[in-house]
């Protein structure tokens, strides 16, 4: 067994591996490195920098030592077996990686650091524990794609999402991240774990999910009160409750999923469901009709309808009683008879303790039949697409990277008037993208957006 440590000075043909003594680092500066059967590479307290081709088709790469180190470089490395064995320290990703067989944990943390791990269809995690596991509270995910035909207790990639269904889900993407989820108003919290589950067949599934977690991921939430919450866009959340939970084995079970999207665990006191399920303004002969929906309310008292000329100075034009406590969708409406072109509206919800929650802002323009806009831009994880249409319509939003590759698309149905659509891009890397929006009778608009 050959061991490469911070004291080694190794020179391969092509200058492929040269530890930098000023900063302990193992560099591949453009060569092609292939590890064959039985090969064992120990990276002891070194940063692993890959600027060439690292194609490990067999063998094991083990990261050891007591210092924090990283995987970095301009090229994405491909590991076969990757073993983390770092004493009270972390391996930090500064590049995406691929694992073809086993990602094993003996000691230490693997911090995603807003980068991603892609597991081959036959690969899996092995040996995760409270003290040695994947983390990444600022972003990134570990992902596997599996074919799930009537799965029974199947845990793809050993990611911790155990799925049972009598249906054929087809090719299914399971993505695990570790960011605490919030709603569109930045409120609420969840455990430091979520799953994006995206089956090819995503209807009438009647699926049971066992959601596994670690105590270290509880994010100060009461383990005895954990419930399941789901969202199609990581903004609008629905509480699903739970069937069983076991605080010894750290698993919450929920059955009866008709479809899948993003799933996490929260508690009633840290509820994620977004108050604002929809917000729309529509021009009518009697004035501007303002409509909004809530998906869930707790301890709500009143809604204040406010209008502005400039988006800074606001006037309360109506007060409506709120539902108080509701786990179902509630719809509210008010007609402003004194509206004017360019009027800006927002809703304030005030609860019985005096705390207030603000809706998004909508501008009504009865002289414009079709228009779209996006804000904020630049953005961090999500933005609002404002669509003004003379008729009810379907809106298709497609996001392309700078190479023209489609990286995300989202479909929404909107009413006539002006509507807000939440567009979530939390899973995309930092950089510039082209957002192409199609709606109505052949309307199309392309906008540049920047993910910070």
- Give domain limits for the chain: 25-266, 275-363, 371-451
Report the pLDDT averaged over residues 125-135: 97
- Least confidently predicted of 1-10, 237-246, 418-427: 1-10
Residue 167, burial from CB neighbour count under 10 angstroms (0-12, 13-18, 19+): middle
Q: Quote the longest CA-to-CA distance of the chain.
A: 83
What sections of 262-410 are H helices per DSSP?
none
Q: Which of 308, 300, 278, 309 is nearest to 291 (CA)?
A: 278
Strand partners, 47: 25
| Residue, of 61 and 381, whose pLDDT is higher | 61
Give CA–CA dist 253/400, Å, rounded.
37
Confidence at residue 412, expressed as pLDDT on a 0 to 100 scale: 82
Q: Is 317 exposed, middle or buried (0-12, 13-18, 19+ CB in 10 A)?
A: middle
Cα–Cα dist 76/96, whole Å: 6
Q: How confident is the model at residue 276 (pLDDT cuts 50, 70, 90)?
A: low
Higher per-residue pLDDT: 270 or 197: 197
Angstrom distance (rounded) from CA 129 to CA 141: 18
Place of tokens 């228009």: 371
DSSP 307-328: EESSSSSEEEEEEEE--SEESS
Which range has highest mean pLDDT (29-33, 289-293, 303-307)? Answer: 303-307
Asked if 275-363 and 371-451 have one fold, the answer is yes
Q: What percent of the chain has pLDDT over 90?
A: 46
Look at residue 269 in the predicted model and tell me its pLDDT.
Answer: 57
Per the DSSP assignment, residues forming a β-bridge with 103 are: 82, 125
Position 250 pLDDT exceeds 80: yes
Cα(first)–Cα(last) distance of the chain, in Å? 44
| Candidates 3.30.470.20, 2.40.50.140, 3.30.499.10, 2.60.40.10; CATH matching 275-363 | 2.60.40.10
Of all residues in the chain, the percent with pLDDT exceeding 70 is 86
How many C-beta atoms lie closer than 10 Å to residue 226's C-beta? 24
Dump the DSSP string for 9-70: ----TTS-----SSS-EEEE-S-EEEE-TT-EEEEES-EEEESSEEEE-SSEEEEEESS-EE
- CA dihedral in degrees (53, 56, 62, 68; nearest 10)? 30
Most confident of 156-165, 198-207, 351-360: 156-165
* Average of per-residue pLDDT across 93-119: 97
Token pair of 320, please?
């409506």
What does the DSSP assignment read for 180-211?
PP--TTS-----S-EEEEEESS-SS--EEEEE
Q: Which of 23, 31, 15 is nearest to 47 (CA)?
A: 23
> What pLDDT sits at residue 1?
36
For 371-451, CATH number?
2.60.40.1930
Q: Is residue 15's pLDDT more than 60?
A: no
Q: How much is the mean pLDDT over the chain? A: 84
Query: Once rounded to an integer, what is the mean pLDDT over residues 14-27?
Result: 45
């Amino acid at each position: 067994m050959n061991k490469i440590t911070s004291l080694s000075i190794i020179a391969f043909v092509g200058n492929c591996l040269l530890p930098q003594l000023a900063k302990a680092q193992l560099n591949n500066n453009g060569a092609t490195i292939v590890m064959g059967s039985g090969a064992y590479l120990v990276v002891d307290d070194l940063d692993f920098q890959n600027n060439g081709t690292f194609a490990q088709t067999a063998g094991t790469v083990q990261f050891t030592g007591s210092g924090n180190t990283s995987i970095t470089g301009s090229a994405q490395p491909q590991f076969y077996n990757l073993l983390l064995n770092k004493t009270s320290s972390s391996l930090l990703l500064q590049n995406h990686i691929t694992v073809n067989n086993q990602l094993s944990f003996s000691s230490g943390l693997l911090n995603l650091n807003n980068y991603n791990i892609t597991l081959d269809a036959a690969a899996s995690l092995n040996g995760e524990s409270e003290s040695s596991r994947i983390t990444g509270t600022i972003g990134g995910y570990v992902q596997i794609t599996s074919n799930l035909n009537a799965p029974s207790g199947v845990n793809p990639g050993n990611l911790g999402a155990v799925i049972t269904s009598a249906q054929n889900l087809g090719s299914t993407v399971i993505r695990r991240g570790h960011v605490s989820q919030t709603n569109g108003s930045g409120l609420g919290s969840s455990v430091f774990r979520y799953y994006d589950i995206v089956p090819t067949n995503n209807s009438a599934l009647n699926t049971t999910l066992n959601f596994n977690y670690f105590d270290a991921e509880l994010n100060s939430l009461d383990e005895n009160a954990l419930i399941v919450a789901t969202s199609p866009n990581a903004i609008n959340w629905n509480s699903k409750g739970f069937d069983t939970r076991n605080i010894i084995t750290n698993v919450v079970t929920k059955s009866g999923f008709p479809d899948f999207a993003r799933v996490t665990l929260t508690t009633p006191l840290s509820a994620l469901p977004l108050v604002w399920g929809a917000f729309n303004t529509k021009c009518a002969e009697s004035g501007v009709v303002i409509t909004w929906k809530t998906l869930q309310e707790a301890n709500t008292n009143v809604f204040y309808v406010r209008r502005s000329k400039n988006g800074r100075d606001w006037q309360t034009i109506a007060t409506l009683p709120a539902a108080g406590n509701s786990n179902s969708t509630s719809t509210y409406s008010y007609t402003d008879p004194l509206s004017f072109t360019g009027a800006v509206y927002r809703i304030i919800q005030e609860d019985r303790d005096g705390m207030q929650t603000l809706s998004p802002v909508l501008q009504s323009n009865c002289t414009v039949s079709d228009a779209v806009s996006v804000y904020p831009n630049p953005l961090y994880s999500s933005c609002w697409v404002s669509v003004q249409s003379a008729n009810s319509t379907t809106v298709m939003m497609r996001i392309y990277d700078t190479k023209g590759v489609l990286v995300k698309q989202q479909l929404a149905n909107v009413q006539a008037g002006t509507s807000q659509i939440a567009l979530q891009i939390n899973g995309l890397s930092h950089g510039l993208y082209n957002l192409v929006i199609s709606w109505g009778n052949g309307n199309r608009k392309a906008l540049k957006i920047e993910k910070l």
